[in-house]
Structure formats: C-alpha cells, structure tokens
Structure 1
Amino acid sequence: MKPAQPPQWMRQRERSHPGALRFMVWISLTLGRPIGRLVLRFVALYFVLFSPQARRAGRDYLRRALGRAPTWSDGYRHVFSFASTVHDRVYLLNDRFDLFDITFVGDQALHDALKRHPGALLLGAHLGSFEVLRAMAHVRARVPLAMMMYEENARKINAILHAINPGAQQDVVGLGHPDSMLKARDKLDAGYLVGLLADRSLANDSTAECMFLGAPARFALGPWRMAAMLRRPVFFMAGLYLGGNRYELRFEQLADFSTVERSGRDAAIAQAMQAYADRLSELCRRAPYNWFNFFDFWHRT
C-alpha cells in the first residue's frame, strides 16, 4: 500500500533562518519594539512578494472571512499580523508582559473548572498568538502549562526558543507516541493546562467534516477522542492580536467529557468539534487577519 502523503502544511518549505532570527532578536531587545516593528514591515513585504503559494491560500481564506474579494493591502495586513505575533514572542518569552495591553475574556469559567477537577484541555488553532497564553499561565493565575505538538514542530519551536531566550523552557508532550495520552493524563492530574492546536493533522490522522466559514472542512479527530477518553473539560483558547500592543486572550468551554458516558462519546465528539469550528469561524470573521494557515485548508491534498 502506498504510504499516505503528508498534508500540504508539512510539505511547505520552512522559510525562517536561525541567523536571521537571532539578528531580529538582537534588534528587538537592543533597539526596542518600535524599531523592531519597523524592520518587520519590510520582512512582511518580502514574504508577500516572494511566497506565491502562501499568498494564494491566504487570499482564499480572506475571501471567506471577509465576505468579499481581498485586496493587496488585506494580504499584506494578514502577513504583517502573523509577523507581529512572531515578533512579540521575543518579549513574551522574556517575560516582558508589561509591554502589552492584554484583555482576558472567559478566564473565570476556566478557573472554576480547575477548582472542580485538576487540569483542563485547551484546544486552540493557528489563530493569533499562543505565547500570550503565558500571561495567564505565569502571571495572572500561576497555572502550569504544557503543550502537545508533533515532534518536528517541537524541534522547530525549541530552536526558536533558544534563539529568543536560551533560558526559556517549553513543557512539551510529543504527539504520535503510544504513551502520549498517558503523559498528557499525568500533566492533567498534576493540575496542568494542556494545550493543543487542533486545526492541523498528519497524513494518517482520522478526520471528520465540519462546516467552517461556510464550507465543509476536515478537522483531526484525535484531540477530541483523547479528551473523551481522559474525561476532561475542553476549552477553546485564542490569543487574538488586535493591532499595536493589544491582545485579547479568550477562553470558552466547548465540552465537558467528564460527564459523558462511553455510549455517548461519538455524538458528544461530533457536537464539540462543530462547536469548535463555529467558534473558530466567528473569531476569524471578527479578527480576520489572525488565522495563520497559509495553505489550501479546504481542498488540502
């Protein structure tokens, strides 16, 4: 049997370079965020001009999110928003939360859930900034945080972390191993928030179809099956970038599998997945330049 082909997002060439990243970190920490953002405008322009495949995919997404044909400036703003969230990691990973105006929405419901049961699953997307979640995990609530991700992604993230701040530590649980769910369970039992970005999948992942931005799209089933087996509450998470130094960190409960019997799991999973896709659609329309999947999401091959 012919092995399954990796999805498009895994086949796209990585365009970042550690040397360039370290140079950008030096500019940002030495000359300050305003100068760093000035340089960032030229970086964003470069990617808009010389990444035609990503540009086409971005236009398809923006057409759905904006409800109109996107302009060239829409495409540039989309890329610049992505570059801004990557750039702000320099400060967030160095605990410079004082530089940002962060609004919290729905975090009280998450705190209440943690009081009833240790640990919760946070299912997000490539929407806005995940690093801004550190503002709650390390400053506001002092809740330990672990991230589940594929090992190749973990390797790239660790390289970025080392370039930005050699002392920064990312608690990562690798996906795709027989003991991945057991390690996630141990983190949850210890009171951790365990985060996972649920809008991408691997070639061999089982998927289910949901309506997303007005059209059918396929999302990975694995995160939801894990949540059901671990019998945990699931919250949607998003760190929306609102421009300048403003972020909105949002939490909304999608499901509580601690109360779902085994016979009702499939129906509960389907309902939770569509709720996830609905919430993602809503936020993509509200903050359209925040979704950073620059590949053909609806017709992925």
Structure 2
Amino acid sequence: MTQKLLVQEWAARRERGSLPLIKLGVWVALRLHRRVARLFLYPICIFFLASSPAAARGSRAYLARVLGRKPRLADIFSHFLTFASCVLDRVFLLNEQLDQFDIRVHGEEIVRAIEQRGGGCILLGAHFGSFEVARAVGRNHADLPISLLMYEENAKKIRAALAAINPRLATEVIGLGRMDSLISVAERLRQGHFIGVLADRNINGKDMVSYPFLGAPAKFPQGPFRVAMLLQCPVVMMVGVYRGGRTYDVFFETLAEAPESRPKDSDAWLDGIMRQYAARLEHHCREAPFNWFNFYDFWA
C-alpha cells in the first residue's frame, strides 16, 4: 500500500460518534461517576474488538513488536481497554475532577524553570497514554496556560468536542494550516503559553522522516519540530502514562533548550531532536506497552 493510498489511514477512517452522542456520553458519565461508568467499557471494548478488524490488526502488529511475541486476544482486548479508559477519564479531567485520580508527576521542575523564566515552550506528546492528564496537571497544579496545536480539520472537531464537554476549554486549540497559525503560536509563546502538539503523525503523510522505532524504521513528521526550531523555544516531551485503576504517571523530559539563535545546520538539529523523540517514545512504549493508541500499521 503506497503512502498516498494510506493518507495516514487513521485520518481517512470515518468517525464513530457525533456531538449529540458525545454530549450524551458526557452526561451519563458525570452522573454515574467514574467507577460505575467504567463498567460499560468492557462491553464497549468487546463490541469494537468484534467490529473493528482494521484496528485489531493495527493493535496486533504493534503488540507483536513491543511485546516480542505473538499477541493473544486478551492482549488486544487490554490494548482497547486502556484506550477506552483514557477516553473516559478525559471527561472527568476536562471537568477538572482531579480528585478522582492518583497522579504522580515526574520532572515538574523542568516546566517550573521555564515558567519562572517567563517564556513558553513546545510540549511534544504522542498518541500514547493521556495527553489530557498531563494538560490537566499543567492547568490545575502548576497553573500553566497550555494551548493545543493541531491540523485545522482535527482542530474543528476537537473544538466542538471540547465545547460539548467543557465550553471554557474550547479556545485552547490553535489550528495548523492557516496563514496566521505560526503567528498565533509565536504570540502565545511570548505570553508564556506552553504549546502542546502530538508529534507522532500528521494528517496528510507529507514531510515525514524515518527513524528506528521498535525494531524497524517508522515515519515521523518534521512539522512540529520545525516549528520549535523556527520559534527558538525550549522543547519538552510530555507523556501521561495510564497505570490502571485511577493511577497516572506524568513525565516531563527536556529534548532541547531554547537556542540563542537559529541552528546553523538546521537539518542536523532536526535530525538530532527527532531521533531523541523517537527513542524516548520507544522507551515509554516498552515500559507501558498498552498505552500506544495508533491503531493502524505505523510502519507501513
């Protein structure tokens, strides 16, 4: 299958769900409370396991690499259940119910130091674990202003979903692909914002570079890293790992300090930071394998 036909397969899949269903799900979850709502995840995951063969194949391909063995059906179910748990928890996190969770933060001194200097930074995440739990930590513990940077089509969906869950958060999304996107990011950085972006895939499969990842070359987009280089800001990797139950570990790791000037060899700078990002993402995948949420063949 060619890259053009893939069109980042994840982006081409029809969305399952709508805003009325999101609102209904949020209403039910908040009234049942988290412990009761979690009981519904098991039949939901069984349904998706039976009705989503493409996602199951993607899960199987990834788990075979990260586990180093042929995954069992129970492994794929656990993979789906971890994803569903993080999706459900997003409702409570977006409604600022952090008391429902046991959240352990590692590397908070990194963001504190950036905050004290009065500057913002690029927070690189991935479709791994819960980006929302890390963002909630920033909002509620460190009082950090965090905005999300994403492709415009996804940004529209996310804005609508955020408005359905918690209208106060809808303005925290910056859409990529507009003429003023980079200007908006630069302005928020000057205001001390932390700009979060998921850097493991993009929407059109363009501007991709291969790096070793779980035993084989995988393609990562240069765009998020190029933005950090152009705006000369610190780059921090942010990962929220779901441990099961009500427990999350949030990790902040410095990938690059703010350069005093643009790198003379931009290709070398980009290669170094992207290679480091891929290596740290692999580390977290091996340490918490069911937290990977790219349900397609990432190595195709």
User: Secondary structure, in 3 states, of the residue corresponding to 2:186?
Assistant: helix
- Are the counterparts in 1 of residues 66 and 285 from structure 2 also a CA contact under 8 Å? yes
Match of 1:32 in 2: 33
Aligned partner of 1:296: which letter? D
Alignment of 1:164-179 (within 5 A): 164-179=165-180
Displacement of 1:204: 6.0
In 1, the alpha carbon distance for the partners of 2:283 and 2:199 equals 16
Alignment of 1:13-92 (within 5 A): 13-92=14-93
CA deviation string 1:199-227 (max 9, x = no partner): 11232631111111111011101111111
- Are the counterparts in 2 of residues 104 and 248 from structure 1 also a CA contact under 8 Å? yes
In 1, the alpha carbon distance for the partners of 2:53 and 2:112 equals 44
Q: Classify 1:49/1:260 alpha carbon distance in 2 versus 1 (closer, same or farther; 3 Å).
A: farther
Displacement of 1:261: 4.3
- Are the counterparts in 2 of residues 138 and 144 from structure 1 also a CA contact under 8 Å? yes
User: Secondary structure, in 3 states, of the residue corresponding to 2:210?
Assistant: strand
Displacement of 1:236: 0.7
CA deviation string 1:7-53 (max 9, x = no partner): 21111121123333333222221121111000111111111110000
Displacement of 1:191: 0.2
Match of 2:270 in 1: 269
Q: Classify 1:167/1:145 alpha carbon distance in 2 versus 1 (closer, same or farther; 3 Å).
A: closer
In 2, the alpha carbon distance for the partners of 1:101 and 1:239 equals 12
- Are the counterparts in 2 of residues 27 and 35 from structure 1 also a CA contact under 8 Å? no
Q: Classify 1:240/1:262 alpha carbon distance in 2 versus 1 (closer, same or farther; 3 Å).
A: same
Match of 2:95 in 1: 94
Match of 1:221 in 2: 222
Q: Which TM-score applies when normalising by structure 1?
A: 0.93
- Are the counterparts in 2 of residues 114 and 120 from structure 1 also a CA contact under 8 Å? no
- Are the counterparts in 2 of residues 4 and 204 from structure 1 also a CA contact under 8 Å? no
Alignment of 1:166-245 (within 5 A): 166-203=167-204, 205-245=206-246
Displacement of 1:260: 5.6
Q: Could you say what the CA RMSD is over the residues aligned between the two structures, in angstroms?
A: 1.7
1:249 matches 2:247: no
In 2, the alpha carbon distance for the partners of 1:98 and 1:78 equals 25
Aligned partner of 2:187: which letter? D
User: Secondary structure, in 3 states, of the residue corresponding to 1:258?
Assistant: coil
- Are the counterparts in 2 of residues 143 and 192 from structure 1 also a CA contact under 8 Å? yes
User: Secondary structure, in 3 states, of the residue corresponding to 1:292?
Assistant: coil
In 2, the alpha carbon distance for the partners of 1:117 and 1:212 equals 35
Aligned partner of 1:209: which letter? S
Q: Which TM-score applies when normalising by structure 2?
A: 0.94
- Are the counterparts in 1 of residues 145 and 194 from structure 2 also a CA contact under 8 Å? yes
In 2, the alpha carbon distance for the partners of 1:287 and 1:197 equals 18
In 2, the alpha carbon distance for the partners of 1:67 and 1:204 equals 28
In 2, the alpha carbon distance for the partners of 1:47 and 1:281 equals 26
In 2, the alpha carbon distance for the partners of 1:279 and 1:105 equals 15
CA deviation string 1:55-104 (max 9, x = no partner): 00111011111111111011001111111111011111111000000000
Match of 1:104 in 2: 105
Match of 1:116 in 2: 117
Pick which of 23-32 and 232-241 moved more.
23-32
Match of 1:136 in 2: 137
Aligned residue pairs total 297
